[in-house]
Amino acid sequence: MRIEELGEFGLIELLRAGRLPRGEGVRLGAGDDAALLEGTDGTLLALTTDMLVEGIHFDLSFTDRASLGYKALAVNLSDIAAMGGGGSSWAVVSLGLPPGTEVGEVEELYRGMSEAAWEYGCSLVGGDTVRSPRGLVLNLAVVGKVREGDLLPRSGARPGDLLMVTGEVGASALGLAALLAGKGREDIFLQYVKRHLRPRPRLDISAGLRARGAAAAIDISDGVLRDLGHICEESGVGAELRYGDLPLPPGAERAAADLGADLAGLVLGGGEDYELLLAVSPERAGELQATGTAVAVGRFTEGESVTVLDSTGREMKVPSPGWEHFKEAG
Ligand SMILES: [Mg+2]
């Protein structure tokens, strides 16, 4: 069988089923936003890695290298945030560079990466540089800290918990759609393009969420629906999502119309907002809601199905669930 038939998530399942070597000191292995390793003094270490490949994750015809460097680190830090982590972190950076790469291009990449590193308290402490036969490849591995009492695994959702989301969703997908349509420089799309090119990991709030009632989290990388599906799968629950309650960025409807795009498709399937989806006990949700940290957009249920309701409470036909590697985009 070829990997394009199995798909990214099928491949991950296959590898997890193959009994990955696991010695001491592992609190949580594959299957969450980051692995968790036993640290000292009640602190866990969260270890994560993300690879960006030219032509798959980014297009240098509309992504400047500084933004690419910024985003590469930001998306890794987002996985630390999704575990409930915060504070200092450390990264190694590996680059595959086509031989014709200009030195200045690599410097630009590092300028953006360093900007994110300073912003979020991450030290760049090494890596590897190799020749790539075709296209730029950029891989980062990051270690961050998660205090035991802050831990937010994907598996923590229970039936009856509220489904909440931080920030807004859909901006990144609108930005990408604008870039693909050659409209990235038009005023009405600038805010979305910025969100797509320079996403913000939610390290500003992540470490305090469990103390405020959250029990599970995932960052929105693959798309709201797909990432919600990951929480449901790991928690053994279903979910009901109210589309009309999802917080969209200002002007989203007009922007989607201008692009001739299906807004619901972008919002539910687009991904890369790097906000957090949370499971929160209903008694505790008021504080997150009142402070504007997160808003309720649905609830977790018994069973395993994920349904999306429109503003009248009717079940919505939903577009493709989100991004998956190896399978053709659908
Ligand atoms: Mg993640």
- 129 and 163 fall within a common domain: no
CA 199 to centroid of ligand 1, rounded, Å: 13
Range(s) of the domain holding residue 86: 3-149
Domain assignment present for residue 326? The answer is: no
Min mean pLDDT across 12-16, 148-152, 227-231, 283-287 is at: 12-16
- 93 and 240 fall within a common domain: no
What number is the average pLDDT over the span 300-322?
Answer: 85
- 167 and 242 fall within a common domain: yes
- 145 and 159 fall within a common domain: no
CA 220 to centroid of ligand 1, rounded, Å: 7
CA 172 to centroid of ligand 1, rounded, Å: 15
What number is the average pLDDT over the span 204-217?
Answer: 97
Domain assignment present for residue 322? The answer is: no
Q: How many domains does the chain have?
A: 2
Min mean pLDDT across 1-15, 117-131, 216-230, 245-259 is at: 1-15
pLDDT at residue 323, rounded to an integer: 55
CA 279 to centroid of ligand 1, rounded, Å: 15
Which residues are within 8 A (CB) of 160 and not within 5 positions of it... i.e. 6 or more apart?
A: 281, 282, 299, 300
Q: What's the CA gap between 231 and 255, in Å, rounded? A: 30
Domain assignment present for residue 330? The answer is: no
For the chain, helix, strand, coil in percent to 5 are 35, 25, 35
Q: Is the Cα dihedral 64, 142, 329, 243 positive or negative?
A: negative
CA 273 to chain centre: 7
Domain assignment present for residue 316? The answer is: no
**Domain C-terminal end among 149, 164, 181:** 149
Alpha helices in the chain (DSSP H): 3-17, 65-82, 103-120, 171-180, 190-197, 224-235, 252-259, 263-269, 285-290
- 236 and 305 fall within a common domain: yes
CATH of the domain at 48: 3.30.1330.10
Which residues are within 8 A (CB) of 167 and not within 5 positions of it... i.e. 6 or more apart?
A: 202, 247, 273, 275
CA 202 to centroid of ligand 1, rounded, Å: 12
**Model confidence pLDDT, tens digit, residues 123-134:** 999 999 999 999
Q: What's the CA gap between 310 and 62, in Å, rounded? A: 34
CA 24 to centroid of ligand 1, rounded, Å: 24
How much of the chain, in percent, has pLDDT values that exceed 90? Answer: 81
- 179 and 285 fall within a common domain: yes
- 138 and 190 fall within a common domain: no
CB 35 within 8 A of CB 26: yes
- 17 and 96 fall within a common domain: yes
- 161 and 290 fall within a common domain: yes
Min mean pLDDT across 3-12, 67-76, 168-177, 245-254 is at: 3-12
CATH of the domain at 215: 3.90.650.10
CA 15 to centroid of ligand 1, rounded, Å: 18
State the pTM of this model: 0.92
The helix or strand, by DSSP H or E, that contains position 219, with its residue range, turns out to be: strand 214-219
